[in-house]
Amino acid sequence: MENEDLSILIKSAQGGSATDMATLASRFQKMIVVNCALRLDDNNQVEDVAQEVTEQLLSSLSQLRSPEAFTSWLEKIIVHTCIRNNKSSRSRKVREVGLEADDSQSLVDRLVEKDVNRLPEANFAQNQAREHLLSHIQQLPQSQRVPLVLHYFGALSYRQIAEVLRIKTGTVSSNISKGKRSLNQRLLDEL
């Protein structure tokens, strides 16, 4: 979506257009889910927290001063909601007696499954390649994985990622480059 079109959509949603609010939430739903999945300790909570983020987005949209800052603003909502949920989840786990290890699907499995379900006509080989790549991305150190995923899957600019993670833009660039080199090397090592 072009920046100008996004700005118009945001302003209309801020003005109370229910249709534009729904369109805005729908367009950013995948980004919200992927970012929640990356940040949450409990993968079983991804859908619930993504819904909470969407509700927060829509209820506080009137507070957004600059439509151009929407993506960074949304990222901050995601980060803070996930942090709050992780703290709550950890407290709950400590109180529970006999808590067993989480045997749910891994983040990568969930992301691949969602992609496959959204594209039922997709080529099996493409899905296998996507699954393979995501498994390597999941193995990257968090300092490389998070900026890489935010940039390529979340479509955030280096500047936006720097704002969200509260690091310098140069550090974002460096971490993404290191992550790409590491992925490249891992894939070459398999040949």
Structure tokens at 47: 């859908």
Structure tokens at 53: 């983020």
Q: Is 140 exposed, middle or buried (0-12, 13-18, 19+ CB in 10 A)?
A: buried
Q: Tell me where in the chain the CATH 1.10.10.10 domain(s) lie.
A: 107-189
Is domain 3-95 annotated with CATH 1.10.1740.10? yes
Q: Tell me where in the chain the CATH 1.10.1740.10 domain(s) lie.
A: 3-95
Buried b (16+ CB within 10 A) or exposed e, 4-39: eebeebbeebbeeeeebbeebbeebebbbbbbbbbb
pLDDT for residue 112 is more than 70: no
Q: CA-to-CA distance for 122 and 113, rounded, in angstroms?
A: 12
Selection from 146, 153, 135, 134 nearest residue 178 by Cα: 146
pLDDT digit string, tens, across residues 57-88: 999 999 999 888 898 899 889 888 988 887 77
**Length reported for the chain:** 191
Residue type, 135: S
- Please provide the CATH number assigned to the domain covering 107-189: 1.10.10.10
CA atoms within 13 A on the CB side of 46: 21
Please give the share of the chain, as a percent, with pLDDT higher than 90.
18
Q: CA-to-CA distance for 105 and 101, rounded, in angstroms?
A: 12
Per the listing, tokens 């993670």 go with 165
Structure tokens at 141: 């150190």
Contact 85, 40 (CB under 8 A): yes
**Which pTM value belongs to this model?**
0.51
Per the listing, tokens 């302003």 go with 11
- pLDDT score at 102: 38
pLDDT digit string, tens, across residues 138-163: 888 989 988 888 887 777 788 888 88
